[in-house]
């Protein structure tokens, strides 16, 4: 019995729970989706920005795959589709920024697919609004800031693997009293964004975001699985701490 086997057991159990809950929630009452006021304000601000003819920005971060946060890039991509709903696609003005080639390609593919599904006349390749302002975090900042200052942005969503420089982007939009939302992954970015913006989702809430925007059966199954894993982890930590204090471990 090694710790790696314990890890594999957890992975296997998680996969089993995902499958079972996915099947159960298709035909029966599903796990309720918890409400985040920050997410509600995000959707409201995007709708308001659309109504006022302002642009909406979604920043997907610097890396598709990060060693420290493996699922963060994919999680960021997952929210592109629910954000690109019919009204947003039809009206145009949606800007998606990514700092990584892989992230850019996949985000562009999703955006093209959504526009095409909506038969949107805004499907002009050059105006699709998926940009790569820079290849490194600070060059990304140098490329993005003029874009944010020159155009009227009504809403900004920061998701994925962003660094501490994200606070500069947030301030550029917050300066004009527009809404900024962040579901940043890395610890450092969470720390710098915390005093700067109100609507900040931290920790594993980042991975909940696609389901909070548009809950599907698989999202609800994922919520319940994560909750069970989290409770199990808490329980193990508490028990381990007690046993350690008692001298058993």
Touching other proteins, residues 70-129 (CB under 8 A): 70-72, 74-75, 77-78, 80-81, 100-102, 104-106, 109-110, 113-114, 117, 126
- Token duo for residue 163: 């660094």
Report 208-227 residues binding other proteins (CB under 8 A).
208, 210, 215, 218, 221-222, 225-226
Measured from the CB atom, the residue of 123 and 229 that comes closer to other proteins is 229
In the complex, minimum distance from the CB of residue 109 to other proteins, in angstroms, rounded to a whole number:
4
Measured from the CB atom, the residue of 51 and 243 that comes closer to other proteins is 51
Nearest-10 Cα torsion for 154, 84, 43, 79 = -110
Q: Which of 173, 197, 212, 213 binds other proteins (CB under 8 A)?
A: 197
In the complex, minimum distance from the CB of residue 78 to other proteins, in angstroms, rounded to a whole number:
4
Report 16-45 residues binding other proteins (CB under 8 A).
18-19, 22, 32-33, 35, 37, 40, 43-44
Residue 174 burial (CB < 10 Å; 0-12/13-18/19+)?
middle
* Total number of residues that touch other proteins (CB under 8 A): 97
In the complex, minimum distance from the CB of residue 204 to other proteins, in angstroms, rounded to a whole number:
4
Measured from the CB atom, the residue of 121 and 149 that comes closer to other proteins is 149
In the complex, minimum distance from the CB of residue 110 to other proteins, in angstroms, rounded to a whole number:
6
Buried b (16+ CB within 10 A) or exposed e, 205-232: ebbbbbbbbebebebbbbbbbbeeeeee
Measured from the CB atom, the residue of 67 and 247 that comes closer to other proteins is 67
Output the DSSP codes for 168-216: HHHHHHHTTT-EEEEEE-SHHHHHHHTTT-SEE--TTHHHHHHHHHS--
Q: Which of 20, 26, 51, 235 binds other proteins (CB under 8 A)?
A: 51
Rounded CA gap, 109 and 113, in Å? Answer: 6
Where helices occur in the chain by DSSP H, the ranges are 3-27, 37-51, 72-78, 80-83, 86-91, 101-117, 137-150, 166-174, 187-193, 205-213, 217-246
Measured from the CB atom, the residue of 236 and 243 that comes closer to other proteins is 236
For the chain, the residue count is 249
Give me the 156-195 binding string for other proteins, x by CB under 8 A, dash otherwise: -------xxx-xx--x---xxx-------xxxx-x-x-xx
């Amino acid at each position: 019995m090694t710790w790696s086997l314990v890890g594999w057991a957890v992975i296997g159990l998680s996969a089993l729970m995902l499958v079972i809950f996915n099947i159960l929630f298709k035909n029966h009452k599903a796990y309720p989706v918890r409400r985040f006021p920050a997410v509600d304000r995000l959707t409201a601000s995007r709708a308001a920005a659309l109504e006022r003819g302002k642009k909406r920005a979604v920043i997907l971060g610097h890396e598709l795959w990060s060693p420290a946060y493996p699922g963060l890039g994919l999680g960021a991509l997952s929210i592109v589709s629910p954000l690109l709903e019919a009204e947003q696609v039809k009206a145009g003005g949606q800007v998606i920024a990514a700092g990584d080639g892989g992230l850019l390609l996949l985000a562009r593919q999703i955006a093209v697919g959504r526009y095409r599904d909506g038969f949107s006349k805004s499907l002009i390749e050059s105006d699709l609004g998926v940009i790569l302002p820079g290849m490194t975090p600070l060059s990304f900042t140098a490329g993005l800031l003029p874009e944010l200052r020159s155009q009227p942005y009504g809403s900004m969503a920061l998701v994925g693997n962003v660094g501490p420089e994200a606070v500069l982007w947030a301030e550029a939009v917050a300066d004009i009293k527009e809404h900024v939302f962040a579901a940043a992954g890395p610890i450092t970015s969470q720390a710098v964004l915390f005093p700067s913006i109100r609507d900040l989702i931290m920790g594993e809430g980042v991975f909940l975001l696609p389901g909070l925007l548009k809950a599907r059966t698989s999202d609800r199954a994922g919520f319940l699985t994560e909750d069970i894993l989290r409770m199990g982890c808490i329980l193990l930590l508490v028990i381990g701490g007690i046993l350690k204090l008692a001298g058993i471990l």
